[in-house]
Amino acid sequence: MSIQPDRIIIFDTTLRDGEQSPGATLNVEEKLLIARSLAKLGVDVIEAGFPFASPGDFEAVQKIADTVGTQDGPTICGLARARKDDIKRAGEALKPAAKGRIHTFIATSDIHLKYKLRKSREDVLATIPEMVGYAKSFVDDVEFSPEDAGRSDPEFLYQVLETAIASGATTVNIPDTVGYLTPGEFGQLIRGITENVPNINQAIISVHGHNDLGLAVANFLEAVKNGARQLECTINGIGERAGNAALEELVMALYVRRQYYNPFLGRPPESEAPLTNIDTKQIYKTSRLVSNLTGMTVQPNKAIVGANAFAHESGIHQDGVLKNKLTYEIMDAESIGLNENQIVLGKHSGRHAFSKRLQELGYNLSDTELNRAFLVFKDVADKKKVITDWDLEAIVGDETQQPPELFRLEYVQVSCGDRAQPTATVTIRTPEGRELTDAAIGTGPVDAVYKAINRVVNVSNQLSEFAVKSVTEGIDAMGEVTIRLRHENQTYSGHAADTDIIVASARAYINALNRLYDALEKQAQGEPSQPMAGV
C-alpha cells in the first residue's frame, strides 16, 4: 500500500521552529493571528508549538487546535521529544483539533548520541516503538524525526525509519538540523531512503532543513525530485540560527517551474494543476504579518517578498519591462498578492470606498477594526496625496496586529535641530486610565521620546534594535518603524507606521512596551511565559 500524495504537502513551522529565532517570541494572541493567516494561505499542516516547553506554548497549541484546527482547516501539529511526558502534553494540547498530529523526535547522529543524549544506537532503536506507539494512543497521525539525520550514518538511519514506520509513524521527516548537506547529497539521502527502507511506501517522506550554508531551499527541491512529498518550512525563512527553508521561495519555485517539477510527481510536464495547495496571492500579506509581529524585518533583496524583489532599477531593465514584462520578470508581483495599483482615495473618500478597497485586497475587518483603520486612513490622507495599496497594508497591519492596548500614546512633541538639545514631551494614558505627561532630553529626537516614555511607563528594558523604512517612495511616504527591546532575556517587538517617523517611533515603542507589560501581568497572575531552551 502506498500513501504517497500526488502533490507537495506544505508543513509550516513558523510558530515552532520559526519562533526559535533569537528574539522572535510571540504571545498567544499573536500566534493565533499568524495561525489564521497560515490557514488562509492554505498550508496543509501548522506546527503550532512545543507544548511541553512552556505553559504559553501549551496554551497557544491548544487555542490554535480549537479555533483553526477545524475539519476543513489544516492539520495542527505539536512537537514532542521522544519522552512520555512530552508526548502526553502534546496529546492534551491537540485534543480540540479535528485533525491533530504529534511530531516526535530523537537524535540519530553519532555526535548527538555521544555528547547530547549519551545513548547508544541500540537505546535509540529501543525507544522508538515505545514512543511512537505512545503518541499513537493520542492521535492516528504521528510524524517521526531522526534529528540530525543529515549527519547520521545512512545504514543506521534506514533501520531507525523502518522501526518508526513499523511502529505506526505515517510521516518520516528527514532533518538537516545543522544545514550541512549540499543539494546533491540531500537528494541522494532521500533516494537512499526510498531504496533501502523496506516499508517506506507506508509513510510520507518529509524534509526539514536549516539555512546555515544558504542551501535549505535548493536541498528541498532536490529532495522533491527524489521522493520527498512534505516540505517543512517557515514564512520569510525565519528560524533557529540562519533560519529554515523559506515557504514563499519553495512554493513559488514549484509554481513558476512546475513544468520542470511535474514529471517528478508523475505528471505530464505541461500539467497546469498546482503542485501545492497554497493560495500564492496570500504570500505577501502573510509575510508582512510575520515580519511585523516577530519584529524580524525582511531584507530588501530577499527572494519573493523583499522590497526589491519586483523592482527594476537599471534603465535597460526598465526599458525591457515596459516593452514586455517577460524580458526581466519570471513571475508577476500580483501572483504573491502584491498590487501596485494606486487608488484614488484621498481625504474626501468615504468609508465605503475605503472598505471596498480593503476587501479587494483580501482584508475582512471587524467593524471596530474598520472604524479605527478608517480614522488613521483619514489622517494619512490629510498629509499624503496618493494612497497606495502598500500604504493601506501598513495602516491595516498596524490596526489589526495590536497587542492589548495597556498604555496609549495620546500626544508626542519634539524639538530638535543642529543647535538644540533634542527634547520630547509625551502624554500617555495608563492602563488605569490616567493621563500622564512627562518630558526628557536625549541624544536625538527618538532617544528623547523613548526616555520621556520610560519616565511614564517605568518598566526597565534595553532597546536592542531600531529600524525605519519607508512604505512607498517620495517625500510624503509613510515611515514604518520596527523595534525590539529586551527585558530579562526575553525580546518584545513593536511596529508602527505614520507619515511622521517620530510619531511612528513613539507608537512602535509603546506597542513593544504593551507586549512586555502584558507578559509581566500574566507572569504576576501565575502564568509563566518563559519557555524552556529550544530544540
Interacting residues toward Zn ion by CB under 5 A: 17
Least separation, in Å, of the C-beta of 147 and Zn ion? 8
Residue with cell 498590487: 339
Q: Which does 242 bind (CB under 5 to 8 A by kind): ligand KIV, Zn ion, none?
A: none
The C-alpha cell of 374 is what? 478608517
Distances (CA, A) of 142 to 16, 89, 101, 116, 188: 17, 14, 6, 24, 25
Nearer Cβ to ligand KIV (17/162): 17
Least separation, in Å, of the C-beta of 63 and ligand KIV? 22
Count of residues for the chain? Answer: 535
Nearest-CA neighbor of 509 among 428, 438, 421, 442?
Answer: 428
Q: Which does 145 bind (CB under 5 to 8 A by kind): ligand KIV, Zn ion, none?
A: ligand KIV
Least separation, in Å, of the C-beta of 203 and ligand KIV? 15
Q: Which does 136 bind (CB under 5 to 8 A by kind): Zn ion, ligand KIV, none?
A: none
Nearer Cβ to ligand KIV (44/498): 44
Least separation, in Å, of the C-beta of 223 and Zn ion? 15
Distances (CA, A) of 217 to 70, 236, 298, 371, 403: 30, 12, 17, 41, 33
Amino acid at 254: L
Task: State the first-to-last Cα distance of the chain, in angstroms, to the nearest integer.
Answer: 34
Nearer Cβ to ligand KIV (208/451): 208
Q: Which does 12 bind (CB under 5 to 8 A by kind): ligand KIV, Zn ion, none?
A: none
Least separation, in Å, of the C-beta of 118 and ligand KIV? 19
Nearest-CA neighbor of 286 among 232, 234, 229?
Answer: 234
Distance CA 378, CA 439 (A): 29
CB 175 within 8 A of CB 142: no
Nearer Cβ to ligand KIV (148/391): 148
Nearer Cβ to ligand KIV (209/422): 209
- Strand pairing category for 490-498 and 479-487: antiparallel
Applying CB under 6 A, the residues found at the interface with ligand KIV are 17, 105, 145, 147, 173, 175, 177, 208, 210, 535
Nearer Cβ to Zn ion (171/292): 171
Q: Which does 333 bind (CB under 5 to 8 A by kind): Zn ion, ligand KIV, none?
A: none
Distance CA 152, CA 155 (A): 9
Nearer Cβ to Zn ion (17/480): 17
Distance CA 319, CA 302 (A): 24
Nearest-CA neighbor of 452 among 426, 430, 429, 428?
Answer: 426
CB 484 within 8 A of CB 513: no
Q: Give the E-state strand segments of 267-418 in sequence order.
A: 342-343, 387-388, 408-415
Q: Which residue is nearest to Zn ion (CB)?
A: 17
Least separation, in Å, of the C-beta of 89 and ligand KIV? 15
Least separation, in Å, of the C-beta of 112 and ligand KIV? 10
Nearer Cβ to ligand KIV (25/145): 145
Least separation, in Å, of the C-beta of 143 and ligand KIV? 9
